[in-house]
A and B are shown apart, each in its own frame.
Chain A
């Protein structure tokens, strides 16, 4: 199935992302307070959504891996974490670049920024843990447990700006009243978000496919090695492998 889906997804991601970024970075108005600095948001906000949405996906994969022991979920979770870690890192980086001119600081330890940093460490930790064992299945199980423990952080990231007072502003797009963004800023943002999401999906799909092929190759190599070892020993004496 991925054979036809992946090229289409890649092309769609490139087209939407191209339109969204051009719209956001060149053809949308500046903000009345922030001036041109507002354009950082067109990367920052989609990265933040992907960091969170991707992690929710990782949690679902981990439940599938632990409860139903689905081997595809193991591979997908393992391949998802470096992509999710990159999105979270970009979110933190662009946020810091915005914070310096707007707030007057690169970093503060408020509840939102700190919980996103924790999210970044969870992604990196998951990527490292799933690769830390010689036995891949054991690594996948440890990673799934870590991902599920880290799931408590997701609502904390989302609601940190509502539960506690923070330097970070509350949500603009998803608030109950009308969005706090003017449509001239909102539409390019949503286009960028769709483009980055498609790109995220394409990367995750390509990586999972590569992971599956790698796994199949390993299995074939193991089988070949076993065969080569057993053939001379097996000639007539019938020693089990």
Chain B
């Protein structure tokens, strides 16, 4: 075996060892590497009360009700769903631009009384679909809208645009 051959073999063995170690570590920490938990995860494995975690899913259609806190800050109540389970969310504060019914969101907070998630932060999640407003409008009008990419845009283009 030449020296080059030997160096290459050692390198490949090291790569194999390092790769296996990394894969095992990542598998072991699987639960900690997820950024958020879905309503189904919460239903299957309710987190202990008072423990902060992130809840992610789609904002359920027709579930958003806006109000205000006693101090006059804007507040919003909505339900987060993943198609199987649903969790009610209560939040007071400013919502991101992309927040709307059917949109993916990730919220940080803890379970409050009555199984309602008390959020102190709401982030919008963007999907991997990009298209011009006219195309979105045409898809909506022709009935070819893919519900996986959220609610169809309202007639007349993007809200607030």
Contact = CB atoms under 8 A, between A and B. Distances in A.
Interface of A: 29-35, 38, 41, 63, 66-68, 101-105, 108-111, 148-149, 151-152, 156, 163-167, 169-172, 175, 180-182, 184-185
B7 to A, nearest CB: 5
B121 to A, nearest CB: 8
27 contacts: A32-B157, A33-B98, A66-B7, A67-B4, A67-B7, A67-B8, A103-B123, A104-B96, A104-B122, A104-B123, A104-B124, A105-B123, A108-B123, A148-B15, A164-B34, A164-B35, A165-B36, A167-B35, A167-B106, A169-B125, A169-B127, A170-B128, A172-B129, A175-B128, A180-B130, A181-B129, A184-B135
Given A35-B161, A156-B26, A111 B130 contact: no
Contacts of B128: 169-172, 175, 180
A33 to B, nearest CB: 6
Contacts of B126: 33-34, 102-103, 169
Contacts of A170: 128
What range describes how many residues of B lie at the interface? 35 or more
Interface string B120-155: 011111111111111111000000000000100100
B133 A167 contact: no
Contact of B132 (A30, A156, A172): A30
Interface string B18-37: 11001000100010011110
A216 B135 CA distance: 58
A53 B115 CA distance: 46
Contacts of A172: 128-130
Contacts of A31: 130-133
Contacts of A30: 132-133, 161
- The list of the 5 closest CB pairs from A to B, nearest first, reads A104-B96, A29-B132, A32-B136, A182-B131, A110-B35
Contacts, number: 124
Nearest to A35: B161
A166 B7 contact: no
Contacts of B39: none
A164 to B, nearest CB: 5
Contacts of B30: 164
Contact of A182 (B8, B95, B97, B135): B135
B153 A32 contact: yes
B11 interface: yes
A185 B130 contact: yes
A32 B34 contact: no
A167 B130 contact: no
A38 B135 CA distance: 15
B66 interface: no
Contacts of A163: 26, 33
Contacts of B109: none
A108 B35 contact: yes
B151 to A, nearest CB: 10
